Amino acid sequence: MFLDDYYKIIQNSRPKLKFCERFDDTSPAWNFSRHNHPYIELMYFFEGKGNLEVSGTRMSISLFDTVVYPAHWAHQEEMISEKRREIICLWVDLPELELKESIQLKDRDNTLSQLFRLIYLEAKREEPEPLLLEYEMKLLLTLILRNNSEGRDHKEELANALQYIHTHFTQKITLEQLADLEHISKSYLSRRFKKLTGMTVITYINHLRIQTAKRLLINSSQSVKEIAYQVGFESTKYFFRTFKSLTGESPSSFRNRHKAAAYQSSAT
């Protein structure tokens, strides 16, 4: 089946959300036995890493990965005790969309993360709007299929550099290190990286660092300075400037806003 055929199926469909939760390894929602669902299952990894197996294919999953299991395909997640995981998991009832393979994607520009969050937030409203959920699920599935199709053409391109960045982004990373991994020059690496991801190397690394910093600001009691150094910034001043550039607010303002929202939610 061609990509356009998948698009037409999604466009003319009425997907229904059967399950939507955000949880970590402490949650009973995890099922570590081999199992399957009559629905398409989608997972987004906000934190941690792990190993998955779906119909004989093994996957090594890490931060900011999206995974899709076709409906009825047997799969199994493995627990890795030293690495805490946090995910959003969706089950989408769309029997017309018969996927021929499982999918694993790296979220290069934070688009998939935002769509998973939108679906989760809408689903958890007191009265979710079905039309919004339907639209957001269609958009998410369409983007995943498109990105997966485009990714095949560049699957091996800069794979070593990207894997190294996602594993070591809290540490100092140089262009020399990445170029050596790919056996190319620094200038060629920079050009190919920008074409592949739409960002420079440092902007890409900073996006990963700020995403992690946002989570720590919400879920930890560490000071802003401690968080800045933990996610890889050598200067708090540079951290503040980068955070505001990417989010539109200061780290302290971001933390206070989320604390206020959490308090209001618990009070209602």
pLDDT above 90 as % of the chain = 59
Q: Is the pTM of this model over 0.85?
A: no
- For the segment 32-57, the average pLDDT, to the nearest whole number, is 86
Question: Measuring CA to CA, how many Å separate 15 from each of 24, 123, 133, 169?
Answer: 26, 14, 9, 37
Domains and CATH numbers, the chain: 3-153 (2.60.120.280), 159-267 (1.10.10.60)
Q: Torsion-angle region of residue 47: left (phi > 0), alpha (psi -120 to 50) or beta? A: beta
Q: 57-97, pLDDT tens digit by residue? A: 888 887 788 999 999 999 988 766 555 678 999 999 999 99
pLDDT of residue 125: 95
pLDDT of residue 49: 73
pLDDT of residue 207 exceeding 80, the answer is: yes
More confident residue, 120 or 61: 120
pLDDT of residue 268: 54
Backbone angles phi, psi at 84, to 5 degrees: -65, 135
Q: 176-201, pLDDT tens digit by residue? A: 999 998 888 999 999 989 988 888 99
